[in-house]
Amino acid sequence: MRILKLIFKNTLRHKLRSSLTILGIAIAVIAFGLLRTVVTAWSVGVEAASADRLITRHSVSFIFPLPLSYRDKIEQIPGVDEVSFSNWFGGVYKDKNNFFARMAVRDNIFDVYPEYAVPKDQLDIYDKERNSCIIGKDIAEKYKLKPGDIISMEGDIYPGQWDFVVRGIYQPKYKTTDGTQMFFHWDYLNERMTKEMPGRANDVGWYIIKIKDPSQSAVISEKVDALFKNSPAETKTETERAFNQGFLASTSAIITAMDVMSFMIIGIIMLVLGNTMIMASRERTREYAVFKTLGFSGKHMVGLILGESMFISCLGSFVGLMLVFPIVASFEKFIPKAFFPVFYIEPITLILAVSAALLIGVAAAIFPIQRVLNTKIVEGFRFVG
C-alpha cells in the first residue's frame, strides 16, 4: 500500500515530464490502433471485394477478342461458379465528349457483379427485350434518362446506327462502385455482327469468371490459361484485384509501410519511456542508496521502478484507447467502402495495443533496474547526478 503510494508520488515528481511521456504513449496507441485498423480493414476488404472474380483476356492485349467457345470450356473447370463475358462497345452518344463506358454483356452479368444493383422488375423486362439496356444512376441523372427512353448511338468499333431502350437503372452499392456504365445484351451485338460482318461474329472481349473459393484463384487462373495454351488465342487470367494492377501495386506498398510503421511506433515509444525512466532513476540514485541502507531489498527497488514504468505506460495506453474509438469512428466516414467494407477496431488490435503497453512498461524499466541493482550503497551515496 505504502509502496503504491510512493510509486504514485514518484510519478508526480516531474509532472511535465510524466505528462509528456503519458501523452506520447497515448498518441502512439492511437496511431497504432488507427494504422492496424487500416491494415486489417484493407486485407479484409481486398479479400472480400473482388478476389472471387477472375478476368480472362487475350494474352497479347485487351483489344484482341477471344472465341465464344471458351465459355463452355471454362465452365467445366472445377471451382468455377459462373462465367460471364463482356465486349467494349465504344460508340458516340450525341456528342464525342459524352464519354461513358458502354458494354455488351452476357445476361448473367448482374449475378457476377452484385454491386450493380438493378431492381428485380426492371431486370425482368430487360431480359425479355433484344435491344434493351441498363444504365448507371449517374448516367441517368446526367442525361435525364428514365426507363422507356431511347439511346441512339453511332458505332465506331461496331459501325452503324444503334438504338437502345432504357429498361433499368442500377444503383452503385458502394461509394466507389462506378455509377456511369451502360450494359446491353451481347446477343443483340452478335446478331448484327453475324449478319453484317460475319468475320467478327462470336467474338468476346474478355471473360469474367466467378469462383467459389477465393483462395483457389491462383490454381483456377492457371488451369484456365493451360486450357488455351498453344491455341491461336492464348489467355491471361488474373484476379480482378491484380487486374487493377496500377492502383493496387502502389496501395499495397503503402499498406506494407503502414504495417511496418505501426510496430516501429512501439519501438520509438519504448525508447521515450525508457529515457524517462533512466532520467528518473538517475536522479534518485541517492534515495535508492537510502532505501538499501534501511534494509530494503532488490525486490523492493524492482517494484518501485517497474511499478512507476508500468503505471505510466498503462495510464498512457488507457488514455490512448479511450480516444482511439471515436477517432477511428470519425475516420470511417471518409474511407471508401468498396476497399474497406469493414472498418472498426478489431479485438486483436486491442490485444496487441495492451500487450505492447505492458511490454513497453517492462522494457523501459530494465536498464534502470539493472543500474540500481548493480550500484553499491556507498557508490550510490557518492554519486553526484
Partner 1 sequence: MSEIIEVQNVSKSYWRDSLEISVLHNISLKVNEGEFLALMGPSGSGKTTLLNLIAGIDRPTKGKLIVAGTDIASLGESALAKWRSASVGFVFQFYNLIPVLTAFENVELPLLLTKLSKSERRKHVEATLDIVGLGDRIHHYPKQLSGGQEQRVAIARAIVTDPVLLVADEPTGDLDRTSAEEILTLMERLNKEFNKTILMVTHDPHAAQRARIVRHLEKGDLTEGDNHENIKAHI
Total residues contacting partner 1 by CB under 8 A comes to 21
When asked if residue 141 is in the footprint of ligand ADP (CB under 6 A), the reply is no
When asked if residue 290 is in the footprint of partner 1 (CB under 8 A), the reply is yes
Minimum separation from the CB atom of position 15 to partner 1 (A): 12
Total residues contacting ligand ADP by CB under 6 A comes to 3
Residues between 257 and 286 with contacts to partner 1, criterion CB under 8 A: 286
Helix (H), strand (E), coil (C) string for the chain: CHHHHHHHHHHCCCHHHHHHHHHHHHHHHHHHHHHHHHHHHHHHHHHHHHCCEEEEEECCCCCCCEECCHHHHHHCCCCEEEEEEEEECCCEECECCCCCEEEEECCCHHHHCCCEECCHHHHHHHHHCCCEEEEEHHHHHHCCCCCCCEEEEEECCCCEEEEEEEEEEEEECCCCCCCCEEEEEHHHHHHHHHHHCHHHCCEECEEEEEECCHHHHHHHHHHHHHHCCCCCCCEEEEEHHHHCHHHHHHHHHHHHHHHHHHHHHHHHHHHHHHHHHHHHHHHCHHHHHHHHHCCCCHHHHHHHHHHHHHHHHHHHHHHHHHHHHHHHHHHHCCCCCCCCCCCCCCHHHHHHHHHHHHHHHHHHHHHHHHHHHHCCHHHHHHCCC
When asked if residue 268 is in the footprint of ligand ADP (CB under 6 A), the reply is no
Minimum separation from the CB atom of position 305 to partner 1 (A): 15
Contact with partner 1 (CB under 8 A) among 230, 232, 294, 385? 294
Q: Which residue is nearest to ligand ADP (CB)?
A: 378
Q: Which does 16 bind (CB under 5 to 8 A by kind): ligand ADP, partner 1, none?
A: none
Give 13 or 94: the residue with its C-beta nearer to partner 1: 13
Nearest to 57 by CA among 257, 206, 269: 206
Minimum separation from the CB atom of position 17 to partner 1 (A): 15
When asked if residue 9 is in the footprint of ligand ADP (CB under 6 A), the reply is no
Give 181 or 375: the residue with its C-beta nearer to ligand ADP: 375
Cβ burial of 361 (10 Å; 0-12, 13-18, 19+) is buried
Contact with ligand ADP (CB under 6 A) among 125, 218, 359, 378? 378
When asked if residue 342 is in the footprint of ligand ADP (CB under 6 A), the reply is no
Stretch touching partner 1 by CB under 8 A, among 51-59, 288-296, 319-327, 357-365? 288-296
Q: Which does 287 bind (CB under 5 to 8 A by kind): partner 1, ligand ADP, none?
A: partner 1
When asked if residue 4 is in the footprint of partner 1 (CB under 8 A), the reply is no
Give 8 or 383: the residue with its C-beta nearer to ligand ADP: 383
When asked if residue 130 is in the footprint of ligand ADP (CB under 6 A), the reply is no
Contact with partner 1 (CB under 8 A) among 119, 348, 377, 383? 377
When asked if residue 282 is in the footprint of ligand ADP (CB under 6 A), the reply is no
Contact with partner 1 (CB under 8 A) among 171, 287, 336, 348? 287
Compute CA 136 distance to the chain's CA centroid, rounded to the nearest angstrom: 25
Minimum separation from the CB atom of position 2 to partner 1 (A): 6
Using CB under 6 A, list all residues that contact ligand ADP.
Answer: 378-379, 382
Which residues contribute to the site for partner 1 (CB under 8 A)? 2, 6, 9-10, 12-13, 286-287, 289-297, 376-378, 381
